[in-house]
Structure 1
Amino acid sequence: MSWIVYVMGAAGFDSVRDFPEGWSPPPLGPRESVIRRLHAVLPTLFFATSTEGSYHGDGFSITFDLGPWEVVPRVRLLVHGPSHEALDVLGRVAEALDGRALDTGLGDFMRFAKDPDSGRHVWRDAPPAESGWLPA
């Protein structure tokens, strides 16, 4: 079972439906800064390349895709495995990057403080990720 989450800068918006037409999120920062902030909250996070990292937890793993940009606009997280611990990791990652976690299963932001259970249904209901969604 896989689940895709994007972490992006979206301060001031309660929902993706609030985005004005043509709006683009601000960048999360330079690649090295993003990697450094991720390592601060996940010391065992391993980046095999400057664009892709992996983290392994108890019963789950997360692939971090920073994309080809030197200034990172968003981080794509591909979560593998049904683990509630992964939700905690997602929250810590979003906080470390001063970003919001967009749950592709819900189609909106995860609300870790307001609704800690947001996203938990995805573990039960999500179909496996298509192989075309995986980074090259």
Structure 2
Amino acid sequence: MSWDVLIMKTKYDFEAPEEEQPPVPPLGQRDVIIEKLTRRLPNLDYRDKAWGVLEGEGFSIEFNTGDEELVDSIMLHVRGGGAVMDTLCLICETLEAYALDTSDTGYIDFEQPEAAEQSWEQFQKYRDKVINNHNGRV
């Protein structure tokens, strides 16, 4: 089970009607994105250009970049525990992008660390509850 975070260039207004949404610009060319990310995150493995893997201290993040040369967004699949927020913040700074917590359709505000950390903690509590309930069944 992963905590899924969508990295995108602009914020989507979930309250506005679809016809009022501005066009969403792409993040950029896949090779350029991979080069930027691997320069800032040296242990990021991008041997498969569509799917990168980062092993952190107590966590892992899979980067679903996709098969297209022009990347609209990247879905991050975060697993484990530990201090993930600094890494997510670094990813967003590197790509000049925003991180959408797909579990509550809220953007992660890295300028308010307690609020940002709360999203990750809520997911971990939910995940642990699901796993513990599942393990109790035969």
Q: Which amino acid aligns with 1:87?
A: M
- Report % sequence identity: 31
TM alignment of 1:56-135, pairs within 5 A: 56-83=55-82, 85-118=83-116, 119-120=119-120, 121-126=122-127
Which position in structure 2 is the counterpart of 1:30? 29
Which position in structure 1 is the counterpart of 2:14? 17
CA contact (8 A) 1:16 1:109 kept: no
May I ask how many residue pairs the two structures share in their alignment? 124
Which position in structure 1 is the counterpart of 2:42? 43
Q: Which amino acid aligns with 1:125?
A: Y
For residues 20 and 70 of structure 1, do their structure 2 counterparts lie closer, same or farther at Cα, with a shift above 3 Å needed? Answer: farther
What value does the CA root-mean-square deviation take over the aligned residues?
2.0
Q: Judge which range, 16-25 or 36-45, deviates more.
A: 16-25
CA contact (8 A) 1:16 1:108 kept: no
Q: Which amino acid aligns with 1:17?
A: F
Unaligned segments of structure 1, at least 5 residues: 129-136
Q: Judge which range, 16-25 or 72-81, deviates more.
A: 16-25
Max Rg structure: 2
What TM-score comes out, normalization by structure 2 length? Answer: 0.80
What TM-score comes out, normalization by structure 1 length? Answer: 0.81
Unaligned segments of structure 2, at least 5 residues: 132-138
CA contact (8 A) 1:5 1:103 kept: yes
| Residue 40 of structure 1, CA deviation | 2.2
For residues 73 and 19 of structure 1, do their structure 2 counterparts lie closer, same or farther at Cα, with a shift above 3 Å needed? Answer: farther
